[in-house]
A = this chain, B = another copy of it.
Amino acid sequence: MNALGRHFLIELWSADNLDRPDLGEEALVEVVRATGATLLDTRFIPFPNGGYSGVCILAESHISIHTWPEHGYAAVDYFSCGPVDCELAIRYLEEKFGAECVESKEVERGVLAPAVGSRSSSAYVPARGVFPSQWREAAL
């Protein structure tokens, strides 16, 4: 069993500087560097309500942020096909945004299992059964 990517969904609450895309970009670039990922490009866009959206595209996938300063809330996603020290990333985010509450959830993406006895031409097949039950229930 093998996952092609690890995806951390991170919730920052009671956070500061959520109306400063320049600081957000600085913070995310620092997270990229601290976690040993390779930055390829960044794009940060401010919105009229003071919030912003930002994405760092990585050789390993991406980090994104969307902020709601009126709620002191930011949603950060760190999707990586390489090893990630999520706790380190969270410590940086917590410090950079002065967040009083942080929650995170890891989701494995592209989970594969050996294709034992399968007629698949690939050595691996999707391992659908390894998703939590609510994933299976949500399958279309």
List residues of chain A with CB under 8 Å of any chain B CB: 4-5, 7, 9, 11, 13, 40-41, 43, 45, 47, 53, 55, 57-59, 61-62, 64, 66, 68, 71-73, 75, 77, 79, 81, 87, 90, 101-107, 109-110, 112, 122, 124, 126, 128, 131-132, 134-135, 138-140
Q: Hey, which chain B residues are within 8 Å of A43, CB to CB? A: 41, 43, 55, 57
Not counting A47-B59, A62-B66, a sample of 11 additional A-B residue pairs whose C-beta atoms are within 8 angstroms of each other reads A4-B75, A13-B126, A53-B57, A55-B55, A55-B57, A71-B112, A73-B110, A103-B140, A104-B139, A105-B135, A106-B138
- A45-B41, A124-B71, A131-B103 known; A64 vs B79 contact (CB < 8 Å): yes
Are the C-beta atoms of B110 and A140 separated by less than 8 Å? no
- A7-B9, A107-B9, A110-B11 known; A71 vs B122 contact (CB < 8 Å): yes
Are the C-beta atoms of B109 and A5 separated by less than 8 Å? no
Are the C-beta atoms of A68 and B103 separated by less than 8 Å? no
